[in-house]
Structure 1
Amino acid sequence: MNMRKLSMLVLCLCLFSSPLSAEDFLTVEKALELAYDNNPVLMASLSKEEQARQQIAQVRASRLPQLGVSLAGQFSKDATTYAVLGPTGVPTGNVAAAGWQNAFQAALSLNWLLYSSGTVPNAIKAKELALKGVQAQSVRTGQAVENGVRKAYYSLQRARAKLLVAQEALDLAKEHLSQVESFYRYGVVAKNQVLRVQVDVSDGKLNVIKAENAVEVGWSALERAVGTALKDRYTLPESETSVSDRTVPEDPLSAAMIYRPELVALEYSRQSALSMAKSAAGTRGPQIGLQGQLKEVDNSFFPSDNDDWTVSISATWTFFDGGESLAKEREAKAAAQELVHSIEDLKKQISMEISSGKLNLESALQRIEVARDQVASAEEDYRMALKRYTANVGTNIDVLDARVSLSNAKTQLVDAVYDTYTARSDLEYAVGSSGKFILKSDS
């Protein structure tokens, strides 16, 4: 019994003795679900949104009344006095206290900016627009995580498929070595043919080792993309040799111009910059504020007598601030104009990504059929080369070359299949398509 049949028997016994449930298999959909809960990049994007919300709260606080309390004490060497004058204005020699030697004051203060010439409202609007931009960018972050998980999953499955090809090639090489050694024992072939096949077996073992290492690297990459350990918890389904979905989007560019979150994020950033420009211009206008204070003063702690209150309304207007507000306004407008150019550049980049993604998908789909035909031809060529060699009408080199061609054909089929999956994922990412991370309408 050869190694391939033995490994298949062991696998069947393991499956029969300990059946796996559907939840034990790690599909690409399952990997995505795990990433939604464990990927740190997604968690970081949520924290970034919360930062933007708190920035809005900070700006809004400036238009609300500010309340505060204070407690103060004043200590003097002597109490302040003044001379007492008589009816004729002549000092009588007596003195009167003008205050206390020690004084304590407790006060409740109110400050309220009633009118800011648009400074505060425009600053609030700028922060609200900035939050929408951050949320749009979070959508794109989610789409990037999805694409990363899919590509890591397909890369792992590609590595597993190539490992299977390498193991099959090694099994064929060992079978052929057994045949050549038998021929050598009976004097049918020379020793050099045995040595050549032994070298081929060693080369097959090295290829298996490399393929096993690629599988381990693939597991590590997938675990990083998902954000949690996977290898010891899940079993992967068999690698695929065909693709069921062979459709290609007809007009992905138009969809990308609608669904790409970066375009929306940049537009929100541009509008935010314009609002900041208006806010900076508002600082040159009049500012009206309300101040109030309720206080109690006494010569003992805690003050409980001699209460007083004051209310005042003040208006200030800075006619000239050295050009600071004007510079801030111009800076914000320049930032908005920069974003206009960035949007145009992004549109060109999206067009290039869509074109490249669509071509890669079409090319990969076409390669699948060619690779399948190539595998069928290579299998028949190897079968015939082996029969000719067994009948002593073919050479050992023909068998070795045919086996190399068969391994290459199977490897190219694996690459074509998983290049298709990867290209489709890249194209969906370029379009901005996602079932979970989608832009929210303003309505």
Structure 2
Amino acid sequence: MYIRRFIAAFMMTLAASAAASAADDALLESLLSAAERNNPQISAAAERTAAAEARLAGAAAQMGPKAAAAMGALWSGGDFEKEVGVMGTALSVPVLESHTYAAAVMLTQTIYSGGSLQARREAARLAKDASEARGARTKQGVDNAVRRAYYAVRAAQAKELVAEEAASLAKEHRAQAEKLFNAGVVAKSDVLRSNVAVASSELDVIRARNATAVAMTALRRAVGADLPEEIEKKEPLSSILSREGRPYGADTSADVAAAYESREELKAYSLLSRQAEKLARAAKGLLLPQILGAVGYAAAGDSFFPDDYSEPVAALGVYWNFYDGGAAKAKTDEAKANARELLFLLDDMKNVIRMEVAQAESSLSSAGSRLEVARRQLAESREDYRIAQRRYAESVGTNLDALDARLALANSMSEVVTAFYDIKSAEADLIYAMGR
């Protein structure tokens, strides 16, 4: 009968643990979605990308035609005349009347810019793509911050339950010590030491609750919005202590290769390096001829909307700044140096990624090993506490043995909680290191 009850209790604990894990995952996903909507860092990254898109639109507009309209007026005291010799006689011919108005509509288009406009447009496009990559990495960073803050909250809540359980055990032992003292079996010092242990455990509960409140504040900041009420619901301590960490077999080379493919920083550095090359090309193109064409319609006369003299006009201009004192060359050299700098930073980022992946894998492996040891320690601490309490009740053990066993049991429960949520945090760090 006892075995059947034990098996039934064990199965119920496993079922409750699985349900709690599913609820945890659902709540975490809702927090990640809320952070995507409310976290200011993500909003700021979106605005940076919007600014980059506007710069791209501006660079593209420089290549298109431009339309303009103009009006002008000239007022004078008399007509402008010019003397013209006709058959040996000087005649005064009016050139402009005393009040003359002119109007024109023009359409201009850059025909050739030495490739500078095309290069600037391509540089703006690369800058926009780099901004999008940085924005994606910002979101991944926020997601990682939310995951870590969430697991910190759950760990703090679990340790709060451990502290409350330890306080409950301390009170039970004090009641036992008082009973034995009243029966004349133990000395008054056992009761006093039990009272000290109860007070100490109550202080631990206060500290644990404060740690939970601080963790909640950190999670609130990471999400950027108020937290749902579900976050206040705590999983039973027995369920937490029975949860297993998923086994992970580290394959650093494969994980690093996957990170190289996914990390947005590598994409951003590569794009910015190519952007610098395009800016160098744009600066170099300024030393080549610039050809501009224009067509329009002009009119002049003595009325405000002139129509006396009107005709279509066309123009073609060439501007060649073949020497600028070395300014274009300096800009070209600067852009090329920036491109080379970004390539070096790209190589350094690969080393950083390899280190981050290795550290996350090491932390994950270490936390998994600690969880296994902590579970064994917890089982042994429970048995030791049971024996110490039994021996004390039968006056063959000391009060100090019972108090030490209770403290060891509380520490063992805390170690299990710490190791389990260290696994969850390490998993989050590995996801972040691999650019997922």
What TM-score, normalized by structure 2, do the two folds share?
0.89
Summarize the alignment of residues 167-186 of structure 1 with structure 2, pairs less than 5 Å apart.
Answer: 167-186=164-183
- Mapped to 2, the partners of 1:42 and 1:236 lie a distance apart of 28
Match of 1:70 in 2: 70
Match of 1:329 in 2: 332
Shift, 1:24, TM fit? 11
Which amino acid is the alignment partner of residue 59 of structure 2?
A: V
Match of 1:247 in 2: 248
Match of 2:39 in 1: 39
Give the CA RMSD over aligned residues.
2.2
Cα-to-partner distance string for 1:180-215 (whole Å, 9 max, x where unaligned): 222333333333222222121111111111111111
Alpha carbons 2:291, 2:316 under 8 Å: kept: yes
Summarize the alignment of residues 189-204 of structure 1 with structure 2, pairs less than 5 Å apart.
Answer: 189-204=186-201
Summarize the alignment of residues 80-99 of structure 1 with structure 2, pairs less than 5 Å apart.
Answer: 80-83=80-83, 87-90=87-90, 95-99=92-96
Which amino acid is the alignment partner of residue 360 of structure 1?
A: S
- Mapped to 1, the partners of 2:71 and 2:362 lie a distance apart of 75
Cα-to-partner distance string for 1:207-256 (whole Å, 9 max, x where unaligned): 11111111112222222222221143655462733235212342311211
Shift, 1:378, TM fit? 0.8
| Aligned length, in residue pairs | 410
Of 217-226 and 316-325, more deviation after overlay is shown by: 217-226
Of 70-79 and 281-290, more deviation after overlay is shown by: 70-79
Match of 1:371 in 2: 374
- Mapped to 1, the partners of 2:85 and 2:201 lie a distance apart of 120
Summarize the alignment of residues 57-136 of structure 1 with structure 2, pairs less than 5 Å apart.
Answer: 57-83=57-83, 87-90=87-90, 95-136=92-133
- 1:221 matched to 2:207? The reply is no
Shift, 1:84, TM fit? 6.9
Shift, 1:83, TM fit? 5.0
Alpha carbons 1:49, 1:134 under 8 Å: kept: yes
Does the residue aligned with 1:98 lie in a helix, a strand or coil? strand
- Mapped to 2, the partners of 1:258 and 1:345 lie a distance apart of 16
- Mapped to 1, the partners of 2:168 and 2:408 lie a distance apart of 15
- 1:257 matched to 2:260? The reply is yes
Alpha carbons 1:26, 1:237 under 8 Å: kept: no
Match of 2:363 in 1: 360
Of 158-167 and 248-257, more deviation after overlay is shown by: 248-257
Summarize the alignment of residues 3-22 of structure 1 with structure 2, pairs less than 5 Å apart.
Answer: none
Does the residue aligned with 1:46 lie in a helix, a strand or coil? helix
Higher helix share: 2
- 1:27 matched to 2:30? The reply is no
Of 269-278 and 34-43, more deviation after overlay is shown by: 34-43
Shift, 1:169, TM fit? 0.5
Which amino acid is the alignment partner of residue 246 of structure 2?
A: D
Alpha carbons 2:157, 2:234 under 8 Å: kept: no
- Mapped to 1, the partners of 2:279 and 2:79 lie a distance apart of 54
What residue ranges of structure 1 are gaps of 5+ in the alignment?
A: 1-21, 434-443
Q: Summarize the Cα distance change of 1:340–1:54 in structure 2 as closer, same or farther, 3 Å threshold.
A: same
Equivalent pairs: percent with the same residue? 37
- Mapped to 2, the partners of 1:211 and 1:397 lie a distance apart of 25
- Mapped to 1, the partners of 2:259 and 2:359 lie a distance apart of 14
- Mapped to 2, the partners of 1:96 and 1:318 lie a distance apart of 42
Match of 2:9 in 1: none
Shift, 1:79, TM fit? 2.8
Shift, 1:23, TM fit? 8.6
1:160 to 157, 161, 186: 157
What residue ranges of structure 2 are gaps of 5+ in the alignment?
A: 1-21
- Mapped to 1, the partners of 2:84 and 2:102 lie a distance apart of 27
1:293 to 285, 292, 296: 296
Does the residue aligned with 1:187 lie in a helix, a strand or coil? coil
Which amino acid is the alignment partner of residue 185 of structure 1?
A: N
- Mapped to 2, the partners of 1:376 and 1:398 lie a distance apart of 17
Match of 1:413 in 2: 416
Which amino acid is the alignment partner of residue 30 of structure 1?
A: S
